[in-house]
Amino acid sequence: MFKLVVSIFLFFTSLSFAMTEVEIQSTMSNKIDKVLLILKDSKLEKMQKGEEIISIMEPAFDYTLMSRLSLGKTWKNISKSQRAEFTELFTQKLKNSYIEKLDLYTDELVEILGVDKVKKNRIVLRTQLVGKEKKYDIGYKFYKKKNEDTWLIYDVDLLGVSLIQTYRKQFSGFLKEKTFNELLIHLKIKKQEKQNNKQW
């Protein structure tokens, strides 16, 4: 179930999208309702569901910032081309992980609990994934873009655990023994494996 939570509520970025502070709760509620309708549609294949859901949710996320935060200090030490390549590979990794977990959905509901403004430029949208026996807290962390009234998601807390911090620990552990280029190769291999599986 925890992997399902991670997969369903993690999507990708499109910086052309603009969500103001007062629109966060209503906009996200609308998007989540659409996602649940797609998940319940038995006429759609898994890949179709994944593509439709991603198209709905991706504009709310700043994936470039999420990539930078997941690498921590390493981001400053790599070139622009390496940053772009990592961002693309990381995006695909998350997309593949999400689509793989769609079969685990079993009619859970999502409740919007409210919005907490933790800082002037930081907001957390509190939600719950409600199952038949348990409830799972999910917090969407928004930041305000500089000099704009545009808010985007930069992290998601799942059961009190930061998704970005989880990936940062994974990448940090990998880079203690290997180079950044080896990390890129590792991500490329995983991407190719997923593509080969789709062909079969």
- pLDDT score at 199: 45
Q: Is the model's pLDDT at 12 over the cut of 50?
A: no
Is 200 domain-assigned?
Answer: no
In this prediction, residues 175-198 reach a mean pLDDT of 87
pTM: 0.82
Q: Which residue has the higher pLDDT, 2 or 147?
A: 147
Contact 17, 59 (CB under 8 A): yes
Q: Which residue has the higher pLDDT, 152 or 92?
A: 152
DSSP designation for 70? H
- pLDDT score at 58: 83
Token pair, residue 116, equals 């907490």
Containing structural domain, residue 163: 2-195
Q: Is the model's pLDDT at 115 over the cut of 90?
A: yes
Q: Give the tens place of pLDDT for each residue, 93-107.
A: 877 766 666 666 777
C-alpha closest to that of 28 among 47, 9, 14: 9
- pLDDT score at 59: 86
Q: Is the model's pLDDT at 18 over the cut of 90?
A: no
Q: Give the tens place of pLDDT for each residue, 61-73.
A: 888 999 999 999 9
Phi then psi for 162, rounded to 5 degrees? -70, 125
CATH of the domain at 179: 3.10.450.710
C-alpha closest to that of 6 among 162, 114, 124, 173: 162
CA distance 25 to 113: 9
Contact 97, 7 (CB under 8 A): yes
- pLDDT score at 89: 92
- pLDDT score at 5: 46
- Domain count across the chain: 1
User: Residue 19 half-sphere exposure, CB side, CA atoms within 13 Å?
Assistant: 25
- pLDDT score at 109: 86
Phi then psi for 17, rounded to 5 degrees? -75, 140
Contact 57, 31 (CB under 8 A): yes
- pLDDT score at 17: 58
- Average pLDDT over the chain reads 84
What confidence category does residue 11 fall into, taking pLDDT thresholds of 50, 70 and 90? very low
Is 31 domain-assigned?
Answer: yes
Neighbours of 69 (CB within 10 A): 18
